[in-house]
Structure 1
């Protein structure tokens, strides 16, 4: 069977292996993971994640609707976001979700008014900006004073005073998220120290929280994915076991996304032309920034392999067909590449398909799953698939 390229290929065996590794790494029964739906919102991906007992971390009303439609319980859903609309808040409150992560004092007033309309009490967690440097790309850093997210630590007392004025709000927790694609564990340890200062200050005021939400951010290995297909979840959770002060009965919530789905997805593309340029050889493929935005958006690196060739290594500038100079996947050393070869762009399971667009009125890439047909079965009718080990 052949399939129109480009398409996303999802390795469900690896996804299940990653989820099993993550759940096995959690030694504390009070640790709870909510999957960050924004990383990949494909139905089959979400269904698999739900089967492993994770909740849903949503940042829009439509993400809440999808989570509910796929069977996530409202008590397992959290809503975050700097600019929640009244309609989104109404949806969250009417379904009595686990918590709304509130990002400003003005937002409290809006939530209270909507909760009053429903004659209910809305569960609130303050999202706090801890001013912790995640040491990641500046466009995915979210926990510094210069970022738009969260309530500054200096305003926590004011926020508590405000919430106590409203009968339709209940402060249940605090929430942090310092950034994404974090490869060092030190920022998470620093986050724990800031969280401890916040909870100690609240405790001094007589405020005991039901939960602490530390967000997500754990990164994956983009440069050499085969060497670490599954992140070291044991070390990650151990940081919070060691450094985060937790009261008896208090739960700790995590919002992991990329680390769960990132390595399970690949973008498969076909070479349209090989063109010799003045500065380098161009491998022009049928996948573009409309299919995988990360390189154009963040100058992100994705490892690329040629599935059809085992020739001598050559340097290629791999580019897409979009009428933009930013439509490039960077330079790669590949076996001699020719028209019709199939390339695999690795580590595309997170922020790949979900960020796609139909700019230039292009079709969106389809999703293909490993339990339906192997990658070799899809590609072989057009060109033999070679072993990557042989390269």
Structure 2
């Protein structure tokens, strides 16, 4: 989380104080760093330089329109799993010809929409889906490009809820059944076989599972070649993990280098275009969830900090028992600048050191006013207002807190807002993107850098189901080049 640093004891997103964002947009608010997103994607691009590679950003990680627009400008393709995600790609200016349509349960209406939009290919996950897609394509007078998602039965070594490449998982076509499925696809008149796809899971922190899956894919590629079924691309999915705590995932460049080295050994490994479907590793450490402490309480010897964010805003801790850094927006003892290194920096204080800035961040008079309450240092469970005992965002964190303090929940750029809900009829959080010291106002129709939080009233009467605070806004985004 290099884009989030302390300066003179105050936590900044790039060059903008989080206290200013909280005053302007309220809490809870998701705050994303433009530079962090661009740098993460650019690292993949640099690692793939000179090779036929398309990185398709996985919208499921974060489908904010400003994020999609930003990545489209960098040349990204997109991985989608629904018609709604396709609509967001199109609305943000993404190229449908660089978009792959994944997902185990595509409806015929979604297939029709994707064919009419001209998506690059469908990642098909069953023989039944092949027949449905062939029928839809025939009704439109088209041939649908298909890539079969093969389940290689490889253990990704991750949480069982996000493991997708084992034999018993619902995803893909079993490795031993894939040849028959390819024969079916090749025989259907309105399908065109263009590739092979696999995706074994999420938050993977070792190259070994990726390479094991690649070996299984290459075995099948050889078999298909012998059958006369030629492929144009290999889609190796995504799943590269990030550092939340003490994980040590390979770098983006190291993973791609390992894949390229393995392909170099294969007699036809250099002829295929490579597709990847990365999401978390692009946006995960580019965001924090900004929240405020409402109450401090003690029950049965346990200390609780009740915040205004909840499991409906960030579901990962309740769903996966996921660990997220919790950082005070104002350090109890302001000191020299210190970089926030996700996983190694703790709110209590050890982390990678950065250079001190000669100027203090600009803050409003209201946010600059010190909290007069005396902080209480304790081991806290950080919990939300939702009526569930599972509504917690962190447990057992040693912090010095006072009511009214602002906190930043780290590594929240992926599977945060995207998994949020209106449970308990709570409005969803705001979203803003920071670009240096600039931030666009969500009411500006020409801006897509912030999404405003909706009121409780708008949540309660929404016909389509409540959708929380702000619509997607963006920061000083230059016009698209002509």
Give me the TM-score of the superposition, normalised by structure 2: 0.74
- Aligned twin of 1:388: none
Aligned mates of 1:334, 1:267 — CA distance in 2: 19
- Aligned twin of 2:57: 35
> Once the two structures are superposed, what CA deviation does each residue of 1:324-375 show, in whole Å capped at 9, x if it has no partner?
0010122243431010000100000000011111111111100122238579
Residue 237 (structure 2) pairs with residue 215 (structure 1): yes
The CA deviation at 1:95 is 2.1
Q: 1:354 to 1:224 in 2, by over 3 A?
A: same
8 A contact 2:81–2:101 mirrored in 1: yes
The CA deviation at 1:28 is 4.2
8 A contact 1:123–1:171 mirrored in 2: yes
> Once the two structures are superposed, what CA deviation does each residue of 1:272-319 show, in whole Å capped at 9, x if it has no partner?
111122132111101000100000111111010112341685311111
Residue 72 (structure 2) pairs with residue 50 (structure 1): yes
Aligned mates of 2:285, 2:143 — CA distance in 1: 40
Alignment coverage as a number of residue pairs = 372
Aligned mates of 2:186, 2:209 — CA distance in 1: 32
- Aligned twin of 1:293: 315
Aligned mates of 1:334, 1:373 — CA distance in 2: 31
- Aligned twin of 1:160: 182
8 A contact 1:309–1:336 mirrored in 2: no
Aligned mates of 1:336, 1:192 — CA distance in 2: 48
Secondary structure in structure 1 of the residue aligned to 2:187: coil
Give me the TM-score of the superposition, normalised by structure 1: 0.91
Residue 126 (structure 2) pairs with residue 107 (structure 1): no
- Aligned twin of 1:329: 393
Structure 2 segments unaligned to the other structure (5+ residues): 1-19, 334-347, 349-376, 440-482
Residue 231 (structure 2) pairs with residue 232 (structure 1): no
Q: 1:67 to 1:120 in 2, by over 3 A?
A: same
Secondary structure in structure 2 of the residue aligned to 1:218: coil
Q: 1:88 to 1:320 in 2, by over 3 A?
A: same
- Aligned twin of 1:243: 262
- Aligned twin of 2:432: 368
Superposed CA RMSD: 1.8
- Aligned twin of 1:116: 138
Aligned mates of 2:102, 2:207 — CA distance in 1: 24
- Aligned twin of 2:406: 342
Residues 77-156 of structure 1: pairs in structure 2 closer than 5 A: 77-156=99-178
Structure 1 segments unaligned to the other structure (5+ residues): 376-391
Aligned mates of 2:214, 2:186 — CA distance in 1: 26
> Once the two structures are superposed, what CA deviation does each residue of 1:256-280 show, in whole Å capped at 9, x if it has no partner?
0000000011001000111122132
8 A contact 2:40–2:282 mirrored in 1: yes
Which has the larger displacement, 194-203 or 254-263?
194-203
Residue 23 (structure 2) pairs with residue 13 (structure 1): no
- Aligned twin of 1:389: none
Secondary structure in structure 1 of the residue aligned to 2:403: coil
8 A contact 2:72–2:95 mirrored in 1: no
Aligned mates of 2:29, 2:95 — CA distance in 1: 31
> Once the two structures are superposed, what CA deviation does each residue of 1:200-223 show, in whole Å capped at 9, x if it has no partner?
111111111000100000000001
Q: 1:39 to 1:231 in 2, by over 3 A?
A: farther
